[in-house]
Each structure stands twice: as C-alpha cells, then as structure tokens.
C-alpha cells in the first residue's frame, strides 16, 4: 500500500491497459477509464494503453485490427463456430490444441511487453488477453494486481473470466451471472456498468442546442445511423431503403472508419435532409440531436445511447458477443430488433407515424438502463488496486498432483 503518513512525494501509480483495436469498443472503454483516472487523480496516476495484437504479437495476429472487420463480414460462419466452440468452461480437445498453439506464438511478445512496461496494475479490456497475460505473468516471482473490465454487455465470452485475476468488473447482471457460471467467486466481481467517457455525459447538450451546433433541421425527426467504429453492417442498404420511403425526417449517417461506405453514401440522391459523416469525435452531440438510433448491437454505442435516452432499432449484431445485447434492449423495451434493411425501414416508418408518447416511453426506458457513474466507480476500483502490494506467485502444484489437474496452467479447465 502507498504510505500515506510519509511526506515524500510518491511516484505516480503506473497502470498498464491491455487492449486491441478489434472494433472500436475496447479502445473507447480504456480511454474512458483513463480520462476518469486522470481527472480524479491527476499526476498521481500514469496510464499506458497497449494494443497487444498490433505491438506485441507475431503475424498474422499483429494484423488483427485490420483483419477483424473483414473476418466479421466475410467469415461470419467461421467466427460463429469458433466463438461457440470456445465459449464453455470445459474446452473440447480441438480448443485445447488451439489455445496451446496460440499461446506458443504469443509467449515471447507478452514476456517482452511486461518487461518493457513495468506497472503497479495491469488492466485488461479485451477477452483474449486475460488468460494469456496471466500465464506469462505466472513466471515472475511476483506480479502487479490484475483487473479485467468486461466490455461486452450480456453474452460475455468465457475468455473474459480468468479465476486468477484479482477483480472482474462487469457491465450488467447477465454478465455477472455468466461469471458465476464460469467459476468466478461472487466477491471477485462487481457490476459497475460499461465505462462511457466522462466527456460523453458533460457534452450531452439539449436537443435544440445540439441541432443548432450540427446545422441540422430543428423540426424534423432525426434518425441517426451508426455501424460501430468500423461502419459495419448493411448501413448503406438501410439508408437507401429509408430514403426510398420519402419520410418526413432527416438522416445523420456515421460511416466510421469505413471510407468506402462514406464514399458510397455521398453519391446517393437523398430525398430528405441527410448528413453523412466519417469517423466522428462528437458522438454525444449527434446522439443528443437525434430522436431514433439505428445501430448494430455494439455495447459501446448501446451504452451511450442509453445515456442519451435514445430509442434503438438494432439492425445487426456480430454473432456471439453481441447476441445478448439485442434481447437486453428488447426486454427492457428500449428498442426493437429489425433484421435486414427492408424491416428496419418499416420500423422507422411505423415509429414516425405512431403517437410521440410511444417514442418518449422508449427513450425513457433506454435512459433507465444508463449507468453514468460506471466510469467513476471503475476508476476508484483501479486506483484501489494500483495501490495494493504486488501479488506473490502461489507455489506450483506438483506435476500429476490433484491440485494441478483441478487447476491447470490456463486458469480454466481446458478439457472435460
Ligand atoms: N464511435 C466513434 N466515432 C465513430 C463511430 C463510433 O467515436 O465515428 C465510437 C462509438 O461512440 C462507440 C465505439 O466507437 O463508443 C463503438 O463501440 P461499439 O462497442 O458500439 O462497437 P464496435 O466498434 O466495438 O464493434
């Protein structure tokens, strides 16, 4: 623990965040927490954000940030299969083999990462780095405390839950239940909500102010279309279907980093006022100015929309990790799932024609799901663990002993 009685100035507590730009959500969560830590603890904290795939992994993993959107789009079936095969407590033999082969490729990079970036606390905001990092850290006589911030909302993959870490912060009750199912002790977990950047809440203008700032029509109902950071899903076709209906509304479409999508959208002859954006840094303004959000089921976007009180039409989801988000929003009546561009356009038309109270009720339900304090609660948790003493390694169970069989090196049982 930091000695608070000493008058010597303490060196800043070093917090190392492990993430990767596979989608926009992991970076968004880490940056949100770092901003809160810096606002709350100032110079007393020093944070580093490392893209483990990009900076410390061999090919082809180092290209994961570029490959991820392509894989999700073109290899949906393989992704779904791999996701479900690995998402269980007892891994089938094939998965054991895969995890071990992957581990061999990562080993040197991770060892180098922890040597080059000594820290007082390690925080993972990515499911793939929890177990791999713990295996690497196991070789040291002592290691910094390790905290996992789960950034999937509901269908949280087994890889998020490693029993050896000190703390696991989960966004929702269903994610907590999954942690229990994967053998995490209740006292190790806490439901905090998903961290949303502190700037988000403070930049939420009133609707008229946001629209004036954005140059949007202040009378028309506004539909905001987003496909995550990468502009994924059939956004182009959805926008075209809505356009064909010639509805009394305006559209704001965020193509994210998908330049091709942005270019295609800029060549459409729009029947209503339409604003096309690339990657935006003013999402709170866009959400504050909008009335309806059409989005894929990204956890970051959903959590932000809840804070902005924005009812959602979920048009798409990444199989596996985003599946549960759809039912979460539907069950709380904060939005609906509409599969395919035709269906989305029909729902938009229906929502525009029904009584405005219906839209207001959905907006209120979305707001009820928001956890604006999540980022501050998480920052406090991390500060607490950053001030804890390093964790000594437990004695290694002997080869072949019952303990070794029960609690193998990967932190979860690899075989049934
Ligand atoms: N985002 C952004 N600018 C954009 C598009 C998205 O800042 O142009 C942010 C969005 O506000 C959210 C994150 O990127 O915080 C997307 O995360 P989400 O979990 O919804 O989807 P992912 O991209 O991870 O699949």
Which spans in 42-92 are helix H?
Answer: 52-56, 64-74, 76-86
Cβ–ligand 1 contact at 341 (below 6 Å) = no
Residues ≥6 apart with Cβ < 8 Å to 124:
17, 18, 19, 130, 133, 146, 147, 148, 149, 165
Which residues are CB-contacts of 325 (< 8 A; sequence separation ≥ 6)? Answer: 153, 154, 155, 297, 298, 299, 302, 314, 317
What pLDDT is stored for residue 91 in this prediction? Answer: 58
Residue for token digits 């490959």? 67
What atom in ligand 1 is closest to the CA of residue 230?
Answer: 23
> Which long-range CB contacts under 8 A does 267-275 form with residues at least 24 apart?
268/239, 268/240, 268/243, 270/243, 271/243, 271/244, 271/246, 272/220, 272/243, 272/246, 272/247, 272/248, 273/216, 273/217, 273/220, 274/239, 274/243, 274/250, 275/214, 275/215, 275/216, 275/250, 275/251
- Sketch out the chain's domains with CATH numbers: 11-196+373-414 (3.40.50.2000), 199-368 (3.40.50.2000)
Atom of ligand 1 nearest to the CA of 298: 20
- Backbone dihedral angles phi then psi of residue 159, each to the nearest 5 degrees: -65, -15
Residue 355 φ/ψ, nearest 5 degrees: -60, 140
SS3 239: helix
* CA distances for 263 relative to 246, 267, 308, angstroms: 22, 7, 28
Inter-residue contact 255 to 52 (CB < 8 Å): no
* 30 CA → ligand 1 middle, Å: 13
Q: Compute, in angstroms, the gap from residue 70 CA to the centroid of ligand 1.
A: 17
Q: Are 45 and 34 in contact (CB under 8 A)?
A: no
Decide whether any atom of ligand 1 lies within 6 Å of the 285 Cβ. Answer: no
Q: Within its chain, how far is the Cα of 133 from the centroid?
A: 19
> How confident is the model at residue 137, as a pLDDT?
92
Pairing of strands 142-143, 146-149: unpaired
For ligand 1, the distance from its centroid to the CA atom of residue 316, given in whole angstroms, is 14
Helix-, strand-, coil-residue percentages of the chain, each rounded to 5: 50, 15, 35
Distance 132 CA to ligand 1 centre (A): 26
pLDDT value at residue 23: 79
24 ligand 1 Cβ < 6 A? yes
Please identify, by atom number, the ligand 1 atom nearest to the C-alpha of residue 279.
8
CA 257 to ligand 1: nearest atom: 8
CA gap 24, 126 in Å, rounded: 12
Q: Could you tell me if 302 and 153 are in contact, meaning their C-beta atoms sit under 8 angstroms apart?
A: yes
pLDDT in tens, the chain (416 residues): 445 455 677 899 999 999 999 877 899 999 999 999 999 999 999 999 999 999 999 888 888 888 887 887 777 788 888 888 888 776 556 666 766 777 777 888 999 999 999 999 999 999 999 988 998 998 899 999 999 999 999 989 999 999 999 999 999 999 999 999 999 999 999 999 999 999 999 989 999 999 999 999 999 999 999 998 888 889 999 999 999 999 999 999 999 999 999 999 999 999 999 999 999 999 999 999 999 999 999 999 999 999 999 999 999 888 888 889 999 999 999 999 999 999 999 999 999 999 889 999 999 999 999 999 999 999 999 999 999 999 998 776 666 666 555 545 444 444 43
Contact 283, 222 (CB under 8 A): no
Are residues 64 and 20 in contact, defined by beta-carbon separation less than 8 angstroms?
A: yes
If you ran DSSP here, which 8-state letter would residue 147 be given?
A: E
How far apart are the C-alpha atoms of 164 and 147, rounded to whole Å?
10
Residue nearest ligand 1's atom 8 by CA = 279
How many angstroms does the Cα of residue 300 sit away from the middle of ligand 1?
6
Q: Are 315 and 233 in contact (CB under 8 A)?
A: yes
Q: Which of 19, 21, 27, 28 most suits a substitution to test ligand 1, by most atoms within 8 Å of the C-beta?
A: 28
283 lines ligand 1 (CB under 6 A): yes
- The pTM score is 0.86
Q: Is 298 in the pocket of ligand 1 (CB under 6 A)?
A: yes
Q: Are 347 and 108 in contact (CB under 8 A)?
A: no
CA of 315 to the centre of ligand 1 (A): 15
Distance of CA 257 from the midpoint of ligand 1 (Å): 10
d(CA 207, CA 218): 8
Closest C-alpha to ligand 1, atom 9: 229
- What are the DSSP E strand ranges found in 214-352? 221-226, 249-254, 274-277, 292-296, 312-316, 335-337
Task: Compute, in angstroms, the gap from residue 73 CA to the centroid of ligand 1.
Answer: 17
């Amino acid at each position: 623990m930091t000695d608070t009685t000493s008058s010597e100035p303490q060196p800043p507590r070093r917090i190392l965040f492990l993430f990767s730009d596979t989608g926009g959500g992991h970076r968004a969560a880490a940056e949100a927490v770092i901003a809160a830590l810096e606002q709350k603890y100032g110079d007393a904290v020093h944070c580093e954000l490392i893209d483990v795939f990009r900076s410390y992994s061999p090919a082809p993993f180092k290209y994961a940030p570029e490959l991820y959107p392509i894989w999700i789009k073109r290899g949906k079936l393989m992704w779904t299969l791999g996701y479900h095969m690995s998402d269980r407590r007892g891994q089938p033999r094939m998965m054991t083999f895969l995890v071990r082969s992957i581990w061999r490729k990562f080993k040197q990079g991770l060892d180098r990462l922890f040597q080059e970036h000594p820290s007082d606390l390690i925080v993972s905001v990515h499911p793939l780095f929890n177990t791999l990092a713990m295996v690497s850290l196991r070789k040291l006589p002592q290691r910094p405390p390790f905290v996992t911030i789960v950034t999937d909302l509901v269908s949280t993959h087994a890889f998020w839950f490693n029993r050896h870490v000190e703390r696991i912060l989960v966004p929702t009750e269903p994610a907590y239940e999954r942690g229990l199912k994967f053998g995490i002790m209740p006292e190790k977990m806490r439901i905090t909500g998903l961290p949303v950047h502190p700037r988000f809440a403070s930049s939420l203008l009133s609707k008229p102010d946001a629209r004036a700032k954005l140059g949007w029509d202040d009378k028309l109902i506004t539909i905001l279309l987003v496909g995550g950071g990468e502009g994924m899903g059939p956004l182009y076709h959805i926008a075209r279907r809505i356009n064909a209906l010639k509805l009394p509304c305006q559209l704001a479409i965020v193509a994210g980093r998908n330049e091709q999508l942005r270019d295609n959208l800029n060549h459409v002859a729009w029947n209503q006022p339409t604003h096309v954006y690339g990657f935006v840094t003013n999402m709170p303004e866009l959400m504050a100015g909008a009335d309806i959000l059409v989005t894929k089921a990204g956890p970051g976007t959903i959590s932000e929309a809840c804070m902005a009180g924005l009812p959602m039409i979920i048009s798409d989801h990444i199989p596996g990790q985003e599946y549960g988000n759809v039912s979460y929003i539907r069950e709380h009546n904060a939005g609906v799932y509409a599969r395919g561009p035709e269906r989305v356009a029909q729902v938009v038309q229906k929502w525009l024609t029904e009584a405005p109270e219906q839209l207001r009720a959905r907006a209120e339900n979305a707001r009820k799901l928001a956890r604006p304090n999540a980022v501050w609660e998480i920052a406090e948790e991390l500060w607490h663990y950053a001030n804890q003493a390093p964790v000594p390694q437990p004695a290694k169970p002997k080869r072949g002993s019952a303990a070794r069989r029960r609690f193998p090196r990967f932190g979860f049982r690899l075989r049934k």
